[in-house]
Structure 1
């Protein structure tokens, strides 16, 4: 007989800390809503809190941005364990659902399902997996972007679904157009990944116009929701995405790039001027930092839980 004081071991892929409401929120944004939704990039707890304060309803834990914040290149130099550690801080810093850039899953089906389970345990609501080979290279760097075999990648997707079921939104990211293949190849892969259990398709393009994206949606005909990352075709008006019935737009790396530019300017000026006087009006005040990260809550908690100095003298 099982000792009643012992907790039962959760089934594979489940975790008592996982918040299904966040997964439901992400599913509603990507899979159920008739309105275009937007996910904002976050690469740490601070950027996540700022995105939530701005009014975004969901976050994209960017592989590129997280790698940059750790001082790595977006070429699988950061490990999967480093990724999930950062995702945990992002999830803990906000009340928003987080879709994680899982690259290609850091290996074969076994690595992919391990990554998915760990992301779910750390608070992620979804993961996007790209059909690249390990180690991957950032989509916008160079021309060597070998694609995974369709059946092999479909196996990675099935392994994630078998491990996490509906507890994690699974987005299959297609790199065929990035790698120079034609639209037929992209559509072929999209159908295969839908059959493997993907909840949505992310079609990626490196062109400066959205013509490939529009062409894909026209042929795809809404079999599954379509997610896009308009990093290169940023001049395309959002109305074009709505017309093409895109589900979700990811602003994929903009907080990291904004922080990089701002820090560079501040460092240059402080070094040149040997003073911070001229830059103080243009940076966040310490009070703003304390307010964003809720230092007042800590003060209230101290008043409630720590003994008062007069109590200690009694």
Structure 2
């Protein structure tokens, strides 16, 4: 299956290359790549302006922005809608957090097909039972059987082929299993058609991640250093890791910023004090391409 999707983005970005091709180049690059979390069109546009080459559509962040908990409370259709807005606002390739597939193999392949149709460049599936919960909440994280999860991966690959990058996320270390179990799952998921492996950890150091990378070099390795953030990036380069995902910081920054501004306005009963500390409306207009709309009006609307 080959679609060769060129995407047209309204506003200042214009036509962009097939997003899956770009994401694949990032994941398979010999240089360390970085994906920035986004959770709506605005955060996607900001990440683009900052210079990131690809985005991570975070399940935690999208759920939080929608007012849900990261426990499969947001539906896959809601996630697809958000991804479409992110794609339109950024023009960047998006690796989508597909949770555990929102059900069995059939749900997983339907999700993958819809993401492909609505701007996703890749999907990342984790080997937890449905419904899943955030990896950093609690200690109960049951995993699905290797063969069952491999079936979900095969179903996605058979449905989307190489048109959608497929990342298999291993939660064995999160669930308290050994490195050997993580390696066993990585081998199985590679055989099932995964393009890359995401190995996840909740420890405050990267030791078990680096141990995995030392033992397993079959496919590109993707990591999420939310908890082991003090590890220098040079360690990942030295370990041959492919891609680092900054997984939730735009959402967390938004929470902190909005909380501070709302509290101050409520206390001062005025916006005068916060006005110099927030983005101007002109900045917002530039970010979202209002100038393109004005130019289009001059071109397409009748002159009076």
Bin the TM-score by the shorter chain.
over 0.9
Judged with a 3 Å threshold, the aligned counterparts in structure 2 of structure 1 residues 54 and 16 are, in CA distance, closer, same or farther, namely closer
Q: Which residue of 2 aligns with 1:184?
A: 180
Supply the distance in 2 between the matched residues of 1:209 and 1:264 (Cα, whole angstroms). 30
Which one of 259, 277, 302 corresponds to residue 297 of structure 2? 302
Please state how far the C-alpha of 1:172 moved relative to its aligned partner.
0.1
- CA distance in 1 between counterparts of 2:273 and 2:213 reads 50
Q: Which residue of 1 aligns with 2:54?
A: 58
Q: Which residue of 1 aligns with 2:164?
A: 168
Q: 1:61 to 1:194 in 2, by over 3 A?
A: same
1:256 Cα deviation after fit: 0.2
> Which of 20, 23, 26 lines up with 1:23 in the alignment?
20
In the alignment, which of 203, 213, 218 is matched to residue 207 of structure 1? 203
* Partner Cα separation in structure 2 for residue 71 and residue 22 of structure 1: 29
Moved over 3 A (4+): 13-20
CA distance in 1 between counterparts of 2:5 and 2:293 reads 23
Q: 111, 116, 134: which one pairs with 1:115?
A: 111
Change beyond 3 A, Cα 1:26–1:191: same
Residue 22 of structure 1 deviates from its aligned partner by 1.0
1:260 aligns with 2:255: yes
Distance 1:165 1:179, change over 3 A: same
Q: Normalising by structure 2, report the TM-score.
A: 0.95
Cα drift, residue 307 of structure 1:
1.0
- Match 1:101 to one of 66, 85, 97: 97
Do 1:158 and 1:197's aligned partners in 2 also have CA atoms closer than 8 Å? Answer: yes
Query: In 2, distance between residues paired with 1:15 and 1:227?
Result: 25
CA–CA distance in 2 between the matches of 1:267 and 1:14?
48
Matches within 5 A, 1:1-314: 21-31=18-28, 33-220=29-216, 222-309=217-304
Please tell me the root mean square deviation across aligned C-alpha atoms, in Å: 1.2
Tell me the residue number matched to 2:10.
none
What's the CA shift for 1:99? 0.3
Q: CA shift at 1:104, angstroms?
A: 0.4
Q: 1:298 to 1:233 in 2, by over 3 A?
A: same
2:42–2:89: 8 Å Cα contact kept in structure 1?
yes
Task: Report the 3-state secondary structure (helix = DSSP H, G, I; strand = E; otherwise coil) of the residue aligned with 1:284.
Answer: coil
SS at match of 1:25: helix
| Structure 1 unaligned blocks of 5 or more | 1-12, 310-314
Alpha-carbon distance between aligned partners in 1 of 2:4 and 2:37, rounded to the nearest angstrom: 27
CA contact (8 A) 1:74 1:138 kept: yes
Query: Taking structure 1 as the reference length, what is the TM-score of the superposition?
Result: 0.92
* C-alpha separation in 2, matches of 1:43 and 1:18: 23
Deviation at 1:58, TM superposition (A): 0.3
Checking the alignment, whether the CA contact within 8 Å between 1:146 and 1:179 is kept in structure 2 is: yes
Asked if 2 retains the 8 angstrom alpha-carbon contact of 1:174 and 1:190, the reply is yes
Cα 1:278–1:103, aligned 2, differ >3 Å: closer, same or farther? same
Higher Cα Rg: structure 1 or 2?
A: 1
Question: For the residues of structure 2 that align with 1:146 and 1:65, how far apart are their CA atoms?
Answer: 22
Structure 2 contact 2–161 (Cα < 8 Å) conserved: no
